[in-house]
Amino acid sequence: MSSQIQNYRVDLGNRAYDIHIEKGCLSRIGEACTSLFGEQAKRCLIMTNDVVAPLYLATVQTSLESQAWQVSTHIIPDGEQFKTIDTWSAIMDSLMTNKLARNEPIIALGGGVVGDMAGFAAACYRRGIPFVQVPTTVLAQVDSSVGGKTAVSHAHGKNMIGAFYQPKLVWIDPNVLQTLAPNQLRAGLAEVIKYGAIWDAEFFRYVEQHAKQLHELDTKTMSKVILDSCRYKAEIVMQDETEQGARALLNLGHTFGHAIESMTHYTGYLHGEAVAIGMCMAARLSEQLGHAPHGTESSMVSALQALELPVAPPMFTAEQWLDAMGHDKKNIGSLIRYILLRGIGEAFIAEDVKDSDIQTLIQSYA
Amino acid sequence: MSSQIQNYRVDLGNRAYDIHIEKGCLSRIGEACTSLFGEQAKRCLIMTNDVVAPLYLATVQTSLESQAWQVSTHIIPDGEQFKTIDTWSAIMDSLMTNKLARNEPIIALGGGVVGDMAGFAAACYRRGIPFVQVPTTVLAQVDSSVGGKTAVSHAHGKNMIGAFYQPKLVWIDPNVLQTLAPNQLRAGLAEVIKYGAIWDAEFFRYVEQHAKQLHELDTKTMSKVILDSCRYKAEIVMQDETEQGARALLNLGHTFGHAIESMTHYTGYLHGEAVAIGMCMAARLSEQLGHAPHGTESSMVSALQALELPVAPPMFTAEQWLDAMGHDKKNIGSLIRYILLRGIGEAFIAEDVKDSDIQTLIQSYA
């Protein structure tokens, strides 16, 4: 076994699954599925989008068909704005038309939107069928494909409709990143640096210092970063699968980030770009409230700039920000929960941030 | 505590909940919710339909408001044909508009359709909020409100889209049955006699012999039958929450019954009526295949006739039946699973029924 093959087990009892990371493994997804689902399962549905399909659908479909799978496909348009109930409902139609049985899987081939929607479709069709994540973006490989958060969005808020529903396998081929658009690559690295900001200042610095290698898709660096990220994600999911507590730390930058995406109608920023800005805002707010030492924000800004990510929030009024965040699904009662920093490498959940604190923060950017 | 108050605990670990049966308890749902959800939860959404709303919505809403709940309501049209993604999507809009938080409940006030859809809405909104079942039909009180099967239907099959998602409380007031239409009352009793047919010949005979008291809503008889039915249901759910095995026995009569509902476009028969016919067909098929002794079918027919339920299937070709059942969600692979009888009081899962057996069965009705 080559050192380039990595397996990591997400131990969730009867919902346990493997994360498999290996260059070139895309063309062996058929064997993996046959080994996992056995001979009773005959049909599967590959769900992907119209950007990924021309690049990788044939490889995945051929691999499955060579193992005697009856493959049907469902291709959605690319983009966060299609993450809707209507798109999900059309996937349901495909599943019904192709008569997938309870033991037959959906294969999610794509980025975060494809994975989230395929997962939510798998969670609901016949009250739950298996699904496999084959992530094709950095964001999906390091974050969204692991952990079982599935969702569609609502006009009033991102990811407001969904389920906690774990995949049966996460199958990661770093080679597919070679065709990823540079802005998508950078956006995914925002979620990578997030793990460092929450738990591990050393990893934070490693990512910042290896920005060039990551942008150039250096094999060794990228593989390390994907594996470490999957481990961070898996460990917190094993502690708190349904986000009753510690898992909320992963939302660092996301309360502000979701507001940015919502206020710009999901077309102005990629998710990771919005999260990058959101992390800078969280760092500034942490300093403003006396939770983090001076310099925390500038460390965050420097690292994200090294990764060529945006750091300045778009201009909206404090009222617009608060209204957009009022719909954030992480709220309990009328409070908005923020994830703040005690410094780079240590995050916590703040339940007592006042609206006036947010007004001060927003004014500081004016 | 009066002997008319009954509590039964459904023990599912961190998803455990009480079934509470008490005449007149409808007007105390507010206290129950405050006691269950605490003071942090402030808002709730009552979901009901346009038949139940004029009868009981005011009672429930007043009870909740007297406990300082901020109540919003969502009223859907009555009928199985509205159990759709579109109706469910509109519930999502209500939840978003009213900004329910993760700890704030949906109250399902109605029959099986209301309960199933409210449950599926609760399962998906913010990846899961609590819900309370307040069942107002016999069918919902004895069957669908307990056990956590939630769903909407698809044009190609009943209940094909849903989740296993348990309520936090089932609150049963037998008094509300006084306004139930007689055909709805009878249809609910089909699910009652089903428990006897599967597990308990003595209970089967008790229900048959007390048909008159049940039709007259005799308090003592009806309370016994509701409690016993909830116990049967809860016990099997505790053994097999997600229908990997034994829970499938509860589908006795349902594979044929769902086909009847589908072929008649959900307007020809109430669900319980279709299940009654389906149980007669299952009994005849069990005899035909040599699994049950002669007389099993006639016992089933006699009991259902005593309850004034239909026993003869509508006329369709064997191909139409098989096609309608081919979409049944309990299939594994290309096999159709049938629940058959070894006699009244003992059911089993048959995986080896051939299409030709079904052709013989259908021809026997010609």
**Structure confidence at residue B4 (pLDDT):** 72
Taking each helix axis as running N to C, give the angle between helix B201-209 and helix B296-306, from 0 to 180 degrees, rounded to the nearest 10: 40
Q: Which of A31-35, A345-349, B36-40 has the lowest mean pLDDT?
A: B36-40
Interchain CB distance below 8 Å, A124 and B161? yes
Predicted pLDDT at A2: 45
Q: Provide the 8-state DSSP code for B245.
A: S
Q: Do B99 and A326 touch (CB under 8 A)?
A: yes
Cβ contact A229:A206 at 8 Å:
no
**CATH of the domain spanning B208-364, picked from 3.40.50.970, 3.40.50.620, 1.20.1090.10, 1.10.10.10:** 1.20.1090.10
pLDDT recorded at residue B31? 97
Contact A309, A183 (CB under 8 A): no
Chain A residue with minimum CA distance to B149: A127
Is B157–A127 a contact, with Cβ atoms under 8 angstroms apart? no
Tens of pLDDT, residue by residue over A156-187, are: 888 999 999 999 999 999 999 999 999 999 99
pLDDT digits (tens, 9 = 90+) for A68-118: 999 999 999 999 999 999 999 999 999 999 999 999 999 999 999 999 999
> Does B261 participate in catalysis according to the annotation?
no
pLDDT at A334 (0 to 100)? 53
- The residues near A96 (Cβ < 8 Å, ≥ 6 apart) are B154, B155, B156, B157, B160, B327
Active site residue B74: no
Whole-Å CA distances, A304 to A207, A272, A292, B153: 10, 11, 18, 47
Which of A85, A92, A332 lies nearest to residue B89, judging by beta carbons? A85
pLDDT of residue A157: 85
Residue B63 pLDDT exceeds 80: yes
The pLDDT-based confidence of A326 (bands split at 50, 70, 90) is: confident
Tell me the β-bridge partners of A170: A19, A133
Identify the closest residue of chain B to A148 by CA–CA distance.
B127
CATH code 1.20.1090.10 region(s) in chain B: 208-364
Confidence of residue B39 (pLDDT cuts 50, 70, 90): confident
Whether the predicted pLDDT of A55 surpasses 50: yes
Domain with CATH 3.40.50.1970 in chain A: 6-178
Identity at B190, one-letter amino acid code: A
CA distance B160 to chain A (A): 5
Question: Residue B2 — pLDDT band, cuts 50, 70, 90?
Answer: very low
Residues of chain B with CATH 3.40.50.1970: 6-179
Asked whether the beta carbons of B266 and B156 are under 8 A apart, the reply is no
Q: Does residue B331 register a pLDDT over 90? A: no
Q: Which CATH architecture has domain B6-179?
A: 3-Layer(aba) Sandwich (3.40)
Q: How far is CA A72 from CA A15, A75, B190, in A?
A: 26, 10, 40
**Structure tokens that stand for A82 in this block:** 């299609």
CA–CA distance, A273 with B82 (Å, rounded to integer): 41
Strand-strand pairing, B70-76 and B43-49 = parallel
Q: Which of B124, B160, B330 to mutate to test the interface with A (most CBs of A within 10 A)?
A: B124
Mutate to test the interface with A, among B93, B120, B126, B241 (most CBs of A within 10 A): B126
pLDDT one-digit tens code per residue, B94-138: 999 999 999 999 999 999 999 999 999 999 999 999 999 999 999
CA B173 to chain centre: 16
Does B163 contact A124 at a Cβ distance shorter than 8 Å?
yes
Q: Is B271 a catalytic residue?
A: yes
Domain A182-364 architecture = Up-down Bundle (1.20)
Please give the positions of A annotated as active site.
127, 149, 191, 233, 243, 247, 251, 254, 258, 271
Task: Region of B322 please: left (phi>0), alpha (psi -120 to 50) or beta.
Answer: alpha
Predicted confidence at residue B327, as pLDDT, reads 54
A128: closest chain B residue by CA? B163
Q: How many CB pairs under 8 A join A and B?
A: 101
Q: Is the dihedral of CA A167, A168, A172, A173 positive or negative?
A: negative
User: What ipTM was estimated for this complex?
Assistant: 0.92
Chain A residues in contact with B94 by the CB 8 A cut-off are: none
CB atoms A102 and B151 under 8 Å: no
pLDDT at B334: 54
As a whole number of angstroms, the distance between CA A97 and CA A72 comes to 10
Chain A residues within an 8 Å CB radius of B242? 127-128
CATH code of domain A6-178: 3.40.50.1970
User: A149 pLDDT exceeds 50?
Assistant: yes
pTM assigned to the model: 0.93
Give me the pLDDT at residue A333, please: 47
Active site residue B31: no
Annotation says B273 is catalytic: no
B258 flagged as catalytic: yes
Q: What is the pLDDT of residue A341?
A: 98
Per cent of chain A over pLDDT 70 is 97
pLDDT of residue A183: 95
Residue B156: per-residue pLDDT: 84
- Tokens in use for A76? 């959605």
Summarised one tens digit per residue, pLDDT across range B148-199 is: 999 999 988 889 999 999 999 999 999 999 999 999 999 999 999 999 999 9
B233 is catalytic: yes
| From-to residues of CATH 1.20.1090.10 in chain A | 182-364
